[in-house]
Amino acid sequence: MAVRMMIVFNPAAGARRRRRLLVALDLLRGLGMRPEVADTARRGHAVEIARDAARDGVPIVVAAGGDGTIAEVAAGLSGSETALGVLPLGTANVLALELGLPRTPAGAAAVLAMGRTALLHPGLAHYADGRELLFVQMLGAGFDAAVVHHLRTGLKRVIGKGAYVAQTLREMPRYPFAPIRCVLDGREDAAASVIVTKGRLYAGRFLLAPGADPREEGFHVALFRGAGALAAMRYGAALPLGLLSRLTSVEIHRAAEVRLEGPDIPVQADGDPAACLPVAVGPAPKPMRIVVP
């Protein structure tokens, strides 16, 4: 009997990604799966689709898109026994790179059909107004979040990763680099920008936290001490060389609980805007299963 699988797809992603999705669907059917596609209609819709599918007992729900879509589907599956699958169709696909998931439709379909799973330990952000936000890869506060907040979606769709470079250059002279108060497992610290990460990589294949693994509990917290445009330029130059974690103005700490505070400082989670500080970060109530090679 064919295994039922729900695939969550954002139709605004464009015709090229739709074609890659159709290739994967044909391959999945040939491998004995029964895939169904649910198109999202708005931001947050993937959460609802995934939650309903889990309640209906669908064994695997696949996020067909980038890290933002993956995070929404994961949020909908949180607490359930349904496994998260990934069909990498996004710009960065950081989680897919972390886990060694194939980028091609054929490779991704083969992994999904095999159905081997591992435990994933997402993070959960708690806001002062009571809202909660699940993330699977990272949460950033400060300069990188300002880039995400002001990034134009249309430009990202047209030039991909180049849109982040362009927006970074625009943010450098105008971002105020206000200090962020950090509390890591009760220990106070401060930084100009902070990235709370589950994985090693940032913005694609670039190394940030060498010892991190999204399949393990806890977080690696990167504290960027340097403030101002010159510091941002140094970080930007070190990132593609894999040297970011070696800079003296970057410190990486392990923590199970993190609190970040600061005036009107933007936050991003898995590459999407995620309001402003203050925010408290801890583990999701329980780990979830994710389909891996």
Whether 59 has a pLDDT exceeding 90, the answer reads yes
**Where do the domains of the chain lie, and which CATH numbers do they carry?**
3-115 (3.40.50.10330), 123-284 (2.60.200.40)
Residue 157: in which H helix or E strand, if any?
A: helix 153-159
Relative to beta strand 250-255, strand 219-224 is: antiparallel
Contact criterion met (CB below 8 Å) for 84 and 77 = yes
Choose among 226, 213, 222: nearest CA to 251. Answer: 222
Grade residue 155 by pLDDT with cuts at 50, 70 and 90.
low
Contact criterion met (CB below 8 Å) for 95 and 85 = no
Structure tokens of 56? 């209906």
Give the tens place of pLDDT for each residue, 171-217. Answer: 999 999 999 999 999 999 999 999 999 999 998 899 999 999 999 99
Relative to beta strand 83-88, strand 60-65 is: parallel
Whole-structure pTM over 0.85, yes or no?
Answer: yes
Rounded Cα gap, residues 84 and 288, in angstroms? 8
Q: Which residues pair with 288 in a beta bridge?
A: 120
Residue 264's pLDDT is 93
Burial 8-46 (b: 16+ CB within 10 A, else e): bbbeebeeebbebbeebbebbeeeebebebbbbeeeebb
Give the tens place of pLDDT for each residue, 100-134. Answer: 999 999 999 999 999 999 999 999 999 999 999 99
- Which amino acid type is present at position 264? D
Structure tokens of 167? 């927006």
